[in-house]
Amino acid sequence: MEKGERLGYMLTCSAYSHLGIWTVPLARGPCCDSRPMICARQPASLPTPDTPLHPKTGSRKTADPFCAQPEDSRSLMPRTLDGQITMEKTPSYFVTREVPRRIHSMSPDTKLIVVVRNPVTRAISDYAQTLSKTPGLPSFRALAFRHGLGPVDTAWSAVRIGLYAQHLGNWLHYFPLSRFLFVSGERLVSDPAGEVGRVQDFLGLKRVVTDKHFYFNTTKGFPCLKKAPESSRPRCLGKSKGRPHPRVPKAVVQRLQDFYRPFNLKFYQMTGQDFGWD
Ligand SMILES: Nc1ncnc2c1ncn2[C@@H]1O[C@H](COP(=O)(O)OS(=O)(=O)O)[C@@H](OP(=O)(O)O)[C@H]1O
């Protein structure tokens, strides 16, 4: 690939922020509501702990993103030298309808990495995240089903995002399967070096990161880095990664598991990978 062509996207359904570098949201932002533009938060305006929380989402969003026409969007990415790869990660890309077309028009050679975990666990994780920012949120069960214990509510984003086969279908109109790497969120915990090894191979990198770099932190209950880059100290992900999940009744989990089964099987067929969720 030529200089400037080396773009990689992380499309995570259980996102792993520590792999993200710089956010270029392709979804329409405050300045893009009426124009098909692409906005980036300039590094100088990335959220800081002082940035006010968004009243609905509870996340820290900066105002005034910098916008450009789609064909200029490469200019929003950090410059790379020969031998460097630009990576960008935004969980919502995978499930946002207009994104595949936009990324394709920017660079059809982009490599796409999708991190997925069991959609039921993903939905509960999503709920745990919202609950931590929205005390008094209705129960998981009340949000997951319509009319009490009626049909599964696919309009609820925590449920909808887990319909991986549907989302992937949108991408396959623009990118062949060979441009994708599907990373198992479960194996990223049980065998981080193995999954990161696959990522390195997919990106055509030497396998520099190996099992020598990880250890299992029993307090955190997750793998952590023995040494953070440019530091001699171990580093785990932050408190919001790997937090305890609220208890969800077994029957609710079972119903959701049954609901997702056909979508999961379709996803295994489409990707040629069995993620072992069923
Ligand atoms: N090494 C390590 N340490 C901590 N957490 C790990 C790790 N590897 C994977 N995970 C899983 O990553 C999940 C958090 O990612 P998120 O999806 O919340 O990321 S993001 O905020 O949307 O970017 C988080 O989900 P929860 O357990 O629901 O918090 C973890 O299960």
Query: pLDDT tens, 106-126?
Result: 889 999 999 999 999 999 999
- Report d(CA 155, CA 58) in Å as an integer: 20
Tell the residue number behind the tokens 């599964």, with chain if given.
152
Mean pLDDT of 235-255: 95
Our answer on whether the CB atom of 132 is closer than 6 Å to any ligand 1 atom is: no
Residues 6+ apart with CB under 8 A from 153: 143, 144, 145, 146, 159
Q: Are the C-beta atoms of residues 91 and 59 closer than 8 Å to each other?
A: no
User: Ligand 1, from 16, 118, 216: best to mutate by most atoms within 8 Å of Cβ?
Assistant: 16
Our answer on whether the CB atom of 165 is closer than 6 Å to any ligand 1 atom is: no
Using the mean position of ligand 1's atoms as its centre, give its distance from the Cα of residue 125 in Å.
8
Q: Whose CA is nearest to atom 19 of ligand 1?
A: 15
- Report d(CA 116, CA 118) in Å as an integer: 7
Using the mean position of ligand 1's atoms as its centre, give its distance from the Cα of residue 243 in Å.
8
Counting atoms of ligand 1 from 1, which one is nearest the CA of 223?
1
Our answer on whether the CB atom of 188 is closer than 6 Å to any ligand 1 atom is: yes
Residue 24 pLDDT exceeds 90: no
Per-residue pLDDT, 106: 86
Residue 215 pLDDT exceeds 90: yes
- Report d(CA 22, CA 161) in Å as an integer: 22
- Report d(CA 252, CA 8) in Å as an integer: 37
pLDDT tier for residue 46 given thresholds of 50, 70 and 90: very low
Using the mean position of ligand 1's atoms as its centre, give its distance from the Cα of residue 194 in Å.
17
Which of the residue ranges 14-18, 21-25, 58-62, 224-228 has the most confident prediction, judged by mean pLDDT?
224-228
Using the mean position of ligand 1's atoms as its centre, give its distance from the Cα of residue 235 in Å.
14
Per-residue pLDDT, 12: 57
pLDDT tier for residue 90 given thresholds of 50, 70 and 90: confident
3-state secondary structure the chain: CCCCCCEEEEEECCCCHHHCCCCCCCCCCHHHCCCCCEEECCHHHCCCCCCCECCCCCCECCCCCEEECHHHHHHHCCCCCCCCCEEEECHHHHHCCCHHHHHHHHCCCCEEEEEECCHHHHHHHHHHHHHHHCCCCCCHHHHHECCCCCCECCCCHHHHCCCHHHHHHHHHCCCCHHHEEEEEHHHHHHCHHHHHHHHHHHCCCCCCCCHHHEEEECCCCEEEECCCCCCCCCECCCCCCCCCCCCCCHHHHHHHHHHHHHHHHHHHHHHCCCCCCC
User: Ligand 1, from 9, 12, 14, 217: best to mutate by most atoms within 8 Å of Cβ?
Assistant: 14
Residue 214 pLDDT exceeds 80: yes
Residue 44 pLDDT exceeds 80: no
Residue 42 pLDDT exceeds 60: no
Mean pLDDT of 132-158: 94
pLDDT tier for residue 139 given thresholds of 50, 70 and 90: very high
Per-residue pLDDT, 29: 34
Query: pLDDT tens, 171-209?
Result: 999 999 999 999 999 999 999 999 999 999 999 999 999
Mean pLDDT of 232-251: 94
Tell the residue number behind the tokens 């020598």, with chain if given.
212
Using the mean position of ligand 1's atoms as its centre, give its distance from the Cα of residue 187 in Å.
12
Mean pLDDT of 22-48: 37
Sign of CA dihedral 150, 156, 160, 162: negative
Query: Smallest Cα–Cα separation from 205: which of 214, 213, 192, 196?
Result: 196
Using the mean position of ligand 1's atoms as its centre, give its distance from the Cα of residue 89 in Å.
14
Rounded to two decimals, what is the model's pTM?
0.80
Residue 236 pLDDT exceeds 60: yes
